[in-house]
Amino acid sequence: MIELENVSYSYGGGELLRDVSLQLQPGSFHFLTGPSGAGKTTLLKLCYGALLATSGRIAAFGEDIARLDRDQMALLRRRIGVVHQDCRFLDHMTLAENVALPLMVSGRADESHGADLAELLTWVGLGSRMDALPPELSGGERQRAALARAVILSPDVVLADEPTGNVDWEMSQRLMQLLIELNRMGKTVVIATHDLSLIRAAKSHVQARVLRISQRRLHLAGADL
């Protein structure tokens, strides 16, 4: 689905990633680890075309990302849901309106999606908070809303950047369970996290590959995780 072949990325004269090769197969589950600043967010951005590789090749769904025009890139990104680390919302819009934004932008917002939106928000435990404004939401509610917004278009791939970074352990487990359920539905899932305890807990419920960025390169993590 997404393939990186000998990819390197440099910014401001410094190399952040070097000679990275990775294949994300349909229905696979990956954890991406490494210390802060190692390049986890950069690698995710390369996967969905927010950044272009300095060298190497990145293909998504059989298309070379570097050769796509703006319209083609927009269509590609509808197939990749991204849970951003900062969880930004429009404060003057309700939770439901914020989650439905991708539908409106893609021209797919109509009455038939109302029930789907309500079902999705109920699935992430926010069915009773549809009319709440973002400033009224807790950290855990914001993270779950971000996940709902990322999957509203039913993408084939879900990339989550530190989705449990700002919540307690109980909420981390709940968010992880939602991501595992998405994988069981056939979605390819990649989670960037530095929380090894969370990875150990999740591995008892899902067959996951653990990758680690170290010294600008991507490695398969050891079995002791």
Is 195 inside a domain boundary? Answer: no
Is 149 inside a domain boundary? Answer: yes
- Give the up-direction half-sphere exposure of residue 209: CA atoms within 13 A in the CB hemisphere: 15
The predicted structure's pLDDT at residue 110: 59
Is 73 inside a domain boundary? Answer: no
Nearest to 163 by CA among 182, 152, 147, 149: 147
Count of residues making up the chain:
225
The Cα–Cα gap between 125 and 42 comes to 30
Cα separations (Å) of 45 from 33, 133, 142, 144? 15, 28, 21, 21
Provide mean pLDDT across the span 148-154: 91
In this structure, the strands spanning 217-220 and 209-214 are antiparallel
| pTM score of the predicted model | 0.91
The predicted structure's pLDDT at residue 113: 61
The predicted structure's pLDDT at residue 225: 45
Is 185 inside a domain boundary? Answer: no
Is 9 inside a domain boundary? Answer: no
Which residue range is the domain that position 135 belongs to? 85-154
Domain count, the chain: 1
Q: What are 24-43's pLDDT values in tens digits?
A: 999 999 999 998 888 999 99
The Cα–Cα gap between 71 and 145 comes to 27
Tokens encoding 203: 């591995």
Q: What are 52-111's pLDDT values in tens digits?
A: 999 999 999 999 999 999 999 989 989 999 999 888 899 999 999 999 998 887 776 654
Provide mean pLDDT across the span 173-184: 91
Is 22 inside a domain boundary? Answer: no
The Cα–Cα gap between 94 and 211 comes to 37
Is 129 inside a domain boundary? Answer: yes
Is 141 inside a domain boundary? Answer: yes
Provide mean pLDDT across the span 121-139: 92
